[in-house]
Structure 1
Amino acid sequence: MYFAVHRDWEVLQYDVKTALLSGELDELIYMEQPPGFQVDGPGFICRLLKSLYGLKQAPNIWNKTLHAKLLAMGFERTESDYGLYMLKEENEVKLLLTVYVDDLLLMGPRDLCTKVAASLQETFELTTMGNITYLLGVEILINRPRREIVYCQRQYVHEVLKRFHMENCNGCATPEAVSESTAVVPPTSDYLSYRELVGAIQYVVGASRPDIAHATRHLGKYLPCYDHTHYAQAKRVLRYLKATTY
């Protein structure tokens, strides 16, 4: 995305409607007739001709279908990231396209983005969402005159706080205590949502908050064996996020 902003390109967001229904099946798959649609008796089965939501092959079929369309349009898929495509002209990148399931980003001059979107709409039904502001739990603020991008997860952090019943907690100034606790805590058989909490925090680290990377790495060491002390340490990171998220 910085590549696009540095060149003063548009960053436009699109959503593919019913993406997983777009692909043709390349194998024999049969299913029971759905209730209310039995033809020639309930003992008969039907053969699927196209992909269907709930089918385990559906995501792969959709990816292959989109990939084939993009190749036909002249895109190249990068070797470093299979979700990133480039449109080149005379060996110069003219447009970037990123894919995450059914979310597409087009990055390039507006007229070229519009042309590519129109070509995609010949095959798929797209919802135009305009300039990107929010994607995968991350608020994205682009200042084109200053060539700046700000990533913010304020809403995501609020949802995590609410999920772990910490929305009314007191904030703290640091993600970790100054000195490590020496208290001895016996093993517990109580269920603690420790792994879920660490996973939620890890997503924040990767997207917008490297300042909690050390604390999260430390918490990750105890995923196989943890107790109430580790859970309290993880909740401290949430308290820090509450105090420092704007």
Structure 2
Amino acid sequence: MQQELHALEANGTWSLETLPDGKKPLGCKWVYKIKHNSDGTIERYKVRLVILENHKKEGVDYTETFAPVVKVVTVGLVLAVAATKKWELHQMDVHNAFLHGDLHEYVYMKLPPGFHASQPNHVCKLKKSLYGLKQAPRCWFAKLSSALINFGFRQSGCDHSLFTLLVHGVQMMVLVYVDDLIICGNDSAAIQRFKEYLSKFFHMKDLGHLKYFLGVEVARNSSGIFLCQHKYALDIIQEAGLLGAQPVAAPLEQNHQLGLATGRYIDQPDRYQRLVGRLVYLCFTIPELSYCVHTLSQFMQKPREEHWNAAIRIVRYLKGSLGQGILLKSTSDFQLHGWCDSDWAGCPLTRRSTTGWMVFLGHSPISWKTKKQHTVSRSSAEAEYRSMATTCCELK
């Protein structure tokens, strides 16, 4: 905690001043967290000073707050390109990322717990953004974007968290997810220069070659790049208490009637909501769960026993498929291929059809989705055409 306080002071996060008339200082507290490695071991203990914003008013104390994060499909696309072109993949982490953002509003905060000031009657006037501020993510992303653009990167118009560089034969791409950066390129010396450049502006941690990113394990060999969420899936199984359960061959029963379920409502819907929410993220490396999760997500507000049993069945399926993932092949070409399908009036409640599509870059899957169509199709041909239209939009 004292180390974090020293970092805040060294960064010039605040200055001690007398509280102006008409202003009310915000409270703050310490938040503690343990960060784990991909194998479950403890990497480090983290502590953050978080400001309490429950008294702030939109339009008065802050205005713009939005900050983008990289899209899942962009991550898959960049990794597929890196696998095919044999580019290096590196990862960096920014320490205290939100503390680097420049704050343009007047924000006053009470003295942090454990902070011994020479003027105890004063308050902290924030000069930099702080964790808990609604505008903090935007301030940080603006600061990082400016640094990347000054180095020579161009911000993508399709995904604002993707930055590309092409100078004198050197090609580099950077993906930004808050304070995590994926760096890939065809020149290792240029990548090293870029890392040194970032370290001059921010407190960076070089994590070396990409191995673990946002709960996704990354393994690489001559065949390509393999993405897996083994630890994440194991955590889901353990949380559900099904480590000793019998696996099943399919995640969902055929010809299910979950839309017409009549069982009693479960007592703890938040357990169902949490489980389905975690399964949504697991679809990043297990595409066949897409339809199952799409179906279960329709009953988040009032899940019944049949819906809970179906969710548990998916967990049992995971028990028998641990270590499963997707392979981004190194022998792929750069041709986009799309596949789509649709049922007809499959929803028993609305009679709307369900679209499923998958997009490949060469032989590497990069995007997939299952979604109910917005309107009722009058024939199976109409449902298929709507499915093709949706897939073409994704390809474009």
TM-score by length of 2: 0.57
Using the alignment, how far apart are the partners of 2:138 and 2:128 within structure 1?
13
- Residue deviations 1:26-74 (CA, integer Å, cap 9, x gap): 11111122344344443x3231111222322222111111011111111
Match of 2:97 among 19, 24, 34: 19
Instruction: Give the superposition deviation at 1:189.
Output: 5.8
Using the alignment, how far apart are the partners of 2:110 and 2:311 within structure 1?
47
Using the alignment, how far apart are the partners of 1:159 and 1:13 within structure 2?
24
Task: Give the secondary structure class of the aligned counterpart of 1:27.
Answer: coil
- Residue deviations 1:168-201 (CA, integer Å, cap 9, x gap): 2221111112343699644326113111111111
Contact 2:237 2:318 in 1 (8 A): no
Using the alignment, how far apart are the partners of 1:137 and 1:165 within structure 2?
21
Cα distance change, pair 64–175 in 1 and its aligned pair in 2 (3 A): same
Quote the sequence identity (%).
Answer: 30
CA RMSD between the two structures: 2.0
Q: Which moved more, 1:59-68 or 1:25-34?
A: 25-34
Matches within 5 A, 1:143-162: 143=221, 145-146=222-223, 148-162=224-238
Please name the residue that 1:130 is paired with.
208
Unaligned ranges ≥5, structure 2:
1-78, 324-396
Determine whether 1:178 maps to 2:254: yes
Please name the residue that 2:280 is paired with.
202
Unaligned ranges ≥5, structure 1:
none
Please name the residue that 1:187 is paired with.
264
Contact 1:31 1:47 in 2 (8 A): yes
Determine whether 1:89 maps to 2:147: no
- Residue deviations 1:62-88 (CA, integer Å, cap 9, x gap): 111101111111111111111110012
Instruction: Give the superposition deviation at 1:142.
Output: 1.8
Using the alignment, how far apart are the partners of 1:64 and 1:204 within structure 2?
30
Match of 1:69 among 147, 152, 155: 147
Matching residue's letter, 1:94? Q
Match of 2:116 among 18, 34, 37: 37
Using the alignment, how far apart are the partners of 1:8 and 1:154 within structure 2?
25
Task: Give the secondary structure class of the aligned counterpart of 1:53.
Answer: coil
Using the alignment, how far apart are the partners of 2:120 and 2:231 within structure 1?
51
TM-score by length of 1: 0.90
Using the alignment, how far apart are the partners of 2:102 and 2:257 within structure 1?
58
Matching residue's letter, 1:190? D
Larger RCO (CA under 8 A, 6+ residues apart): 1
Matching residue's letter, 2:81? F
Q: How many residues of Structure 1 are paired with residues of Structure 2 in the alignment?
A: 241
Contact 1:198 1:234 in 2 (8 A): yes
Using the alignment, how far apart are the partners of 1:105 and 1:184 within structure 2?
44
Please name the residue that 2:76 is paired with.
none
